Amino acid sequence: MLAGIMPDTITIRRPDDWHLHLRDGAMLRAVLPHTARQFARAIVMPNLVPSVTDIASAVAYRERILAALPAGAEFTPLMTCYLTDATDPAEVERGFRTDVFAAVKLYPAKATTNSAAGVTDIARTMPVLERMAAIGMPLLIHGEVTDPAIDIFDREAVFIERTLAPLHRSLPELKIVLEHATTGDAVDFVRSAGPSVAATITAHHLVINRNAIFAGGLRPHLYCLPVAKRETHRLALRRAATSGSDKFFLGTDSAPHPIHDKESACGCAGIFTAPAALEIYAQVFDEENALDRFETFASLAGPRFYGLPPNEATVTLRRASWRVPERIAAEPGPVMPFLGGEEVAWRIE
Ligand code: DOR
Ligand code: ZN
């Protein structure tokens, strides 16, 4: 594409969402169609209650997802294994070799929603991580320290320094995705690390900085973990996402919670971007004059990292504004989408 020419449509291979919360039961049925409309595949997070820690529970969850798909939808869920101190390397390898597990997810214990069963000390998981490095299986990391003495806005940068950099040094061949990168520190680390390290970037972290959470009052629907950071970090994320580098790819971290759990004295973390995710990313790439790199970020870099073929089908987006719904009906209560009630400048044809 020539610089200065603003196309009104863009056609790319069908994208995938490399980080997604689908939940279960009635909530799964309410949110899944929004993702399946836009994405061919998604890496499905295992933080259910109880969490998805073995092959049997992942197979059962995958079946519930497939059963919840609208008729005619073409969507493949890629399952993940929730890492605990007690995870068996043989189970992880068997799940990977039988195409049940696409990856393993590491939540530091108590870092976020449903992470109580997460890892208390990464040293305890080294036998699993060594096995994964040997078989080429990706480790997906929620990169925040849980030390309450560390300022919440510093928890990602401190995790990189204390845990992620040493892990990458000791197992440089282990494929790692630093999920939902929120800082310039994360961008710098991923760029300077070897080819085994990549990051996903959410739509909301490209759009909001931490001021948005406090704009005119407390905005619980803009609260997620890792929490949005200051403006310099948002700009670093925009540069990384639109750089054309294979190391950064699309992962929405769409994380629905009923409105009554968000608008509460102790509101849940999570932003529900699924209803307009691809369109919001397209708007960001347009704003950055980088629509020519949108396909790399949304549809090519992720499959390349995971060793999967890119999708054959295509999707066309048109510059045409539409209003994101204010509410999505769900049980046990409706969910508020990110940018609900606001206009988005691109639309899927
Ligand atoms: O904001 C978040 N919500 N961050 C996470 O890491 C988990 C997610 C959820 O499951 O709600
Ligand atoms: Zn997540």
pTM of the shown model: 0.97
- Identify whether the C-beta of residue 139 lies closer than 8 Å to the C-beta of residue 120: no
> Which parts of the chain have pLDDT scores under 70?
1-5
Q: Whose CA is closest to atom 10 on ligand 1?
A: 113
Distances 343 to 123, 161, 310, 325, 346 between C-alpha atoms, Å:
47, 39, 30, 10, 9
C-beta 252 within 6 A of ligand 1? no
Strands, E assignment, the chain:
9-13, 17-20, 41-44, 76-82, 101-106, 139-141, 176-178, 197-201, 248-250, 314-323, 343-348
Q: In testing the pocket of ligand 1, which one of 106, 142, 225, 268 has its CB within 8 Å of the most ligand atoms?
A: 225
* Torsion angle of the four alpha carbons 323, 327, 329, 333, in this order, in degrees rounded to the nearest 10: 170
pLDDT in tens, 185-236: 999 999 999 999 999 999 999 999 999 999 999 999 999 999 999 999 999 9
**Which atom belonging to ligand 1 lies closest to the Cα atom of 114?**
10
**Which atom belonging to ligand 1 lies closest to the Cα atom of 47?**
10
- Token pair 């799940």: residue: 95
pLDDT of res. 5: 64
pLDDT of res. 4: 54
Taking the C-alpha atoms of residue 107 and residue 228, their distance in angstroms, rounded to an integer, is 18
Task: Give the start-to-end residue ranges of the domains of the chain.
Answer: 14-311
Whether the bond into 337 is cis, omega within 30 of 0? no
Coil, helix or strand for 263?
coil
pLDDT of res. 1: 47
Compute, in angstroms, the gap from residue 87 CA to the centroid of ligand 2. 20
Report the candidate in 183, 186, 151, 138 with the shortest Cα–Cα distance to residue 165: 186
Coil, helix or strand for 114?
coil
C-beta 182 within 6 A of ligand 1? no
Taking the C-alpha atoms of residue 118 and residue 106, their distance in angstroms, rounded to an integer, is 7
Percent of the chain with pLDDT strictly greater than 90: 96
pLDDT in tens, 301-314: 999 999 999 999 99
- Identify whether the C-beta of residue 275 lies closer than 8 Å to the C-beta of residue 220: no
CATH number of 14-311: 3.20.20.140
Closest ligand, as measured to the CA of 179? 2
C-beta 298 within 6 A of ligand 1? no
- Identify whether the C-beta of residue 180 lies closer than 8 Å to the C-beta of residue 200: yes
Instruction: Quickly list H helices, 21-54.
Output: 25-38
Catalytic choice (85, 253, 286, 292):
253
Compute, in angstroms, the gap from residue 30 CA to the centroid of ligand 1. 18
pLDDT of res. 115: 85
pLDDT of res. 111: 82
Coil, helix or strand for 177?
strand
pLDDT of res. 58: 98
pLDDT of res. 85: 95
Strand-by-strand arrangement of the 197-201 sheet = 17-20, 41-44, 76-82, 101-106, 139-141, 176-178, 197-201, 248-250
- Identify whether the C-beta of residue 311 lies closer than 8 Å to the C-beta of residue 40: yes
Residues with Cβ within 8 Å of residue 134, at least 6 apart in sequence: none
C-beta 113 within 6 A of ligand 1? yes
C-beta 269 within 6 A of ligand 1? yes
Compute, in angstroms, the gap from residue 29 CA to the centroid of ligand 2. 19
Q: Whose CA is closest to atom 8 on ligand 1?
A: 270
**Which atom belonging to ligand 1 lies closest to the Cα atom of 107?**
6
C-beta 227 within 6 A of ligand 1? no
Our answer to whether residue 24 is catalytic in this structure is no
Which amino acid is located at 347 in the chain? R
